[in-house]
């Protein structure tokens, strides 16, 4: 680690939103890190970079990509990969992550995170893309489990697919516990045994977010909109994840209906409290 | 074509509204209370709204002028006709002003396309690479006879916007969420604008026909003498020394290259 880089504390962090930038710079709340969407900083210059450079002097950063489309069965967009590499080079983040999903096909970018079937064919595609990204960036990345509204006839369960991906590429995982819960409710993803199926050392970050419950006919579907506070069931999954994976960096994600910074800081505090409680429970007193 | 790629091709077409979700229902598990086609429509909806959002961010004044409901319809039509080709949303919407100009339902707002052009120029300058502008005193380093063949390079963030409508006043009046606090005189005449960002702030500078032609000529790497000729064609009483020092003071240039 270059000297002068802000320390990476165990405290949870938040996704950085333009609305909060000056409040964070002025108040310097205790946050473990700030996470940015890589694509928002792929412009060449101007205010976004000026703000982020100022914030990077005080907080460790995590770069979260949304546009690489690791799951597309077509070559990665090298220009985009280069731009991601430039953002990573410029800000030297502690963590770099992307999604187990796809968003590019037939010359169109869909700006959505679409699901893939969990089988050998998909595994081959995603593993070769992760290899390529890690080689290009010269570092490992974390791959995030998706929130889905449909599932395919798959030969592998989601956590087995992720464990296999870790084994083949050496990548880490960004465990989104809200996504696990959303997929559980929407397509019956099995939550029992999910965490245990993931290799213990692989989880490098945890995402926490809220979702929206929409009713279609007489049935509910949960939309992963990051637009509300984290729900009780997801906090419970977080507690289980800390018990299994230890104190990995956790992030409060809010991408729509952005509240005042204070509200997110309360959720950061909740995450920190749960982490401390679990640590006290699992670390035997000296 | 692989099975995965074929599946992704059809889902992409469905997401962009080019394929009925029902035709994909057999490709996903249909064992939940909500039918597969309905759940596939969520992706279609997310995709299209996910592409309208960056347009709303780049064209906030257009949005204010037509209202959210109309914007959603117009931008949605644009998204389906011109989805981005690459994951590069900061610059998405280059064809949007032209699309608005041809959009039947928007003809009652004849200045809308030009306002969109101004917002596109503003967005370009906002995200362009930072570059120190040329010092307003830079020309004192050159002898008088050198000036004629000097090439003054405009700042790389610069974009030109010309309109028959007073788009600068319209744009300025919509810089707060509340909209304009006074009526805009649409008969006030057109605008010739230079949009650029010499330092932190993105600027819009209204100029006359002469200065507009002058800077355009310099942008095409013409000499000062040639640019002066172009300026005179646009404005017969163009005062080159006064205009040039005003433009230098406005930090509109990046470099002075002697020939």
* Cα B44 to Cα B6: distance, rounded to the nearest angstrom: 18
ipTM: 0.94
Contacts of A104 in chain B (CB under 8 A): 86-87
- Start-to-end CA distance of chain B, whole Å, equals 57
Contacts of B4 in chain A (CB under 8 A): 73, 116-117, 121-122, 125
Q: Is any Cβ of chain A less than 8 angstroms from the Cβ of B84?
A: yes
Q: Residue B28, CB half-sphere, CA atoms under 13 Å: how many?
A: 28
Helix then strand then coil, in percent of chain A rounded to 5, is 40, 20, 40
Are B28 and A150 in contact by the 8 Å Cβ rule? The answer is yes
Interface probe, candidates A37, A52, A77, A109, chain B, greatest B C-beta count within 10 A = A109
Return the domain boundaries, chain A: 13-281
Q: Is any Cβ of chain A less than 8 angstroms from the Cβ of B80?
A: no
Q: pLDDT over 90 for what percent of chain A?
A: 92
Closest partner CB to A73 (pick from B2, B33, B54)? B2
Judged by CB atoms closer than 8 Å, whether chains meet at A43 and B90 is answered as yes
Q: From the CB of residue B35, how many other CB atoms can be counted at a distance below 10 Å?
A: 16
Q: Is any Cβ of chain B less than 8 angstroms from the Cβ of A217?
A: yes
The model's pTM is 0.94
Residues B53-109 have pLDDT tens digits of 999 999 999 999 999 999 999 999 999 999 999 998 999 999 999 999 999 999 999
pLDDT at A1 over 50: no
- Distance from B115 to chain A by nearest Cα, in Å? 22
- Residue B45 in tokens: 């909806």
Which of A:169-188 have CB within 8 Å of B? Answer: 186-188
Give the domain A13-281 fold. TIM Barrel (3.20.20)
Q: Quickly state the pLDDT bin for A3 (edges 50, 70, 90).
A: very low
What pLDDT was estimated at residue A281? 87
Q: Is any Cβ of chain B less than 8 angstroms from the Cβ of A72?
A: yes
What pLDDT was estimated at residue B179? 73
Q: Is the dihedral of CA A204, A210, A213, A214 positive or negative?
A: negative
pLDDT at A5 over 70: no
pLDDT at B6 over 60: yes
Residues B7-42 have pLDDT tens digits of 999 999 999 999 999 999 999 999 899 999 999 999
What pLDDT was estimated at residue B184? 87
């Amino acid at each position: 680690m270059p000297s002068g880089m802000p320390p990476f504390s165990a405290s949870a962090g938040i996704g950085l939103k333009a609305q909060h930038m000056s409040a964070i710079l002025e108040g310097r709340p205790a946050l473990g890190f700030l996470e940015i969407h890589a694509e928002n900083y792929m412009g060449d210059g101007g205010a976004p970079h000026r703000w982020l450079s100022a914030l990077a002097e005080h907080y460790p950063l995590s770069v979260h990509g949304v546009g690489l489309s690791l799951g597309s069965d077509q070559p990665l967009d090298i220009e985009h990969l280069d731009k991601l590499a430039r953002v990573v080079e410029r800000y030297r983040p502690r963590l770099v992550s992307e999604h187990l999903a796809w968003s590019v096909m037939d010359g169109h970018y869909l700006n959505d995170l679409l699901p893939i079937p969990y089988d050998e064919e998909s595994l081959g595609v995603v593993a070769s893309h992760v290899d390529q990204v890690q080689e290009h960036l010269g570092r490992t990345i974390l791959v995030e489990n998706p929130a889905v509204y449909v599932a395919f006839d798959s030969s592998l369960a989601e956590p087995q697919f992720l464990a296999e991906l870790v084994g083949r590429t050496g990548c880490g995982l960004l465990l989104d516990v809200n996504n696990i819960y959303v997929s559980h409710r929407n397509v019956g993803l099995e939550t029992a045994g999910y965490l245990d199926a993931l290799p213990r050392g692989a989880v490098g970050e945890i995402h926490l977010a809220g979702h929206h419950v929409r009713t279609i006919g007489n049935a509910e579907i949960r939309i992963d909109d990051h637009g509300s506070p984290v729900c009780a069931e997801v906090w419970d999954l977080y507690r289980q994840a800390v018990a299994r994976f230890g104190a990995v960096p956790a992030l409060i994600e809010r991408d729509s209906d952005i509240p005042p910074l204070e509200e997110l800081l309360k959720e950061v505090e909740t995450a920190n409290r749960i982490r401390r409680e679990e640590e006290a429970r699992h670390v035997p007193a000296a | 074509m692989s099975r995965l790629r074929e599946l992704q091709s059809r889902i992409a077409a469905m997401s962009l509204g080019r394929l009925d979700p029902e035709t994909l229902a057999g490709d996903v598990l249909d064992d939940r209370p909500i039918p597969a086609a309905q759940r596939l429509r969520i992706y279609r909806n997310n995709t299209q709204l996910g592409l309208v959002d960056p347009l709303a961010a780049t064209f906030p004044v257009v949005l204010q002028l037509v209202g959210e409901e109309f914007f959603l319809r117009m931008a949605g039509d644009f998204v389906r006709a011109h989805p981005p080709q690459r994951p590069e949303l900061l610059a998405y919407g280059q064809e949007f002003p032209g699309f608005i100009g041809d959009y039947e339902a928007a003809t009652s707002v004849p200045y809308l396309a030009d306002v969109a052009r101004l917002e596109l120029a503003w967005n370009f300058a906002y995200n362009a690479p930072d570059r120190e502008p040329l010092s307003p005193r830079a020309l004192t380093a050159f002898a008088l006879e050198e000036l004629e063949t000097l090439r003054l390079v405009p700042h790389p963030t610069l974009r030109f916007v010309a309109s028959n409508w007073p788009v600068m006043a319209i744009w300025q009046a919509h810089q707060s969420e509340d909209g304009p606090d006074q009526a805009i005189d649409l008969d006030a005449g057109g605008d010739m604008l230079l949009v650029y960002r010499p330092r932190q702030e993105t600027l819009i500078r209204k100029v006359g026909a002469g200065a507009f032609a002058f800077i355009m000529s310099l942008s095409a790497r013409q000499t000062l003498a040639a640019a002066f000729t172009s300026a005179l064609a646009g404005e017969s009483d163009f005062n080159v020394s006064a205009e040039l020092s005003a433009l230098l003071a406005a930090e509109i240039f990046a470099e002075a290259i002697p020939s």
